[in-house]
A and B are shown apart, each in its own frame.
Chain A
Amino acid sequence: VGADRALNAYRLNRFFYLLHTDAEFLETFRRDANAAIARAALEPDEARAVGQAQVGDLYRAGAHPFLLHGLVRHRLCGVDQASYMAAVRDAAKAGSPRTRAR
Chain B
Amino acid sequence: VLVIVTSDHFVQFFFDNMPAFCVGVVDQADGPHENGFQIDPYRARGHRAFAAGLLEHGLRAGFDLASAEELRLDHSILVPLHFLVPDAALPIVPVYIKGLAQPMPSARRCYRLGRMLRTFIARWPGDERVAIVATGSFSLEVGGPKMGQVDEEWYAEVLSMIREGRAVDLVRRATPKRLIKSGNTGGELLNWIALLGALDAAKPVFLEADRQPPDLRQDAHAYAAWEPTAP
B143 pairs with A21, CB closer than 8 A: no
The CA of A101 and the CA of B100, in the complex, are separated in Å by: 10
Contact among B100, B148, B180 for A66, CB-based, below 8 A = B100
B225 on the A face (CB < 8 A): no
B14 pairs with A66, CB closer than 8 A: no
B102 on the A face (CB < 8 A): yes
B15 pairs with A10, CB closer than 8 A: yes
Contact among A17, A70, A85, A89 for B14, CB-based, below 8 A = A17
Given A19-B35, A74-B36, A101-B101, A68 and B14 contact (CB-CB distance below 8 Å): no
B16 CB → nearest A CB, Å: 8
Q: Which residue of B lies closest to A66 (CB)?
A: B142
B145 pairs with A89, CB closer than 8 A: yes
The CA of A20 and the CA of B11, in the complex, are separated in Å by: 8
Query: Quick one: which of B172-196 are within 8 Å of A by CB?
Result: 180, 184-185
Given A66-B9, A100-B103, A101-B102, A92 and B35 contact (CB-CB distance below 8 Å): no
A94 CB → nearest B CB, Å: 11
A28 CB → nearest B CB, Å: 12
Would you give the 0/1 interface string for B129-157, flagging 1 where the beta carbon is closer than 8 Å to chain A? Answer: 00000000000011111011000000000
Contact among A65, A72, A73 for B144, CB-based, below 8 A = A65
B34 on the A face (CB < 8 A): yes
Q: Which residue of B lies closest to A88 (CB)?
A: B145
Query: Quick one: which of B23-64 are within 8 Å of A by CB?
Result: 33-36
Residues of A within 8 A of B216 (CB): 81
The CA of A64 and the CA of B18, in the complex, are separated in Å by: 14
Q: Which residue of B lies closest to A10 (CB)?
A: B15
Given A20-B10, A20-B34, A100-B103, A66 and B184 contact (CB-CB distance below 8 Å): yes
Residues of A within 8 A of B11 (CB): 20-21
Residues of A within 8 A of B9 (CB): 66
Residues of B within 8 A of A73 (CB): 35-36
A53 on the B face (CB < 8 A): no
Query: Quick one: which of B105-144 are within 8 Å of A by CB?
Result: 141-144
Residues of B within 8 A of A68 (CB): 143
B72 on the A face (CB < 8 A): yes
17 A–B contact pairs at CB < 8 A? A10-B15, A17-B10, A21-B11, A21-B33, A21-B34, A26-B35, A65-B147, A66-B9, A66-B143, A67-B143, A69-B142, A92-B144, A100-B102, A100-B103, A101-B15, A101-B101, A101-B102
Interface residues in chain B, defined as those with a beta carbon under 8 Å from any beta carbon in chain A: 9-11, 14-16, 33-36, 72, 100-103, 141-145, 147-148, 180, 184-185, 216
Question: Which 6 residue pairs spanning A and B have beta carbons closest together?
Answer: A69-B143, A65-B143, A92-B145, A65-B144, A73-B36, A89-B145
Other CB < 8 Å A-B pairs besides A17-B14, A21-B11, 20 of them? A13-B15, A19-B35, A20-B11, A20-B34, A21-B34, A21-B35, A22-B35, A64-B101, A65-B143, A65-B184, A66-B142, A70-B35, A70-B36, A84-B143, A88-B143, A88-B147, A92-B145, A93-B145, A102-B102, A102-B184
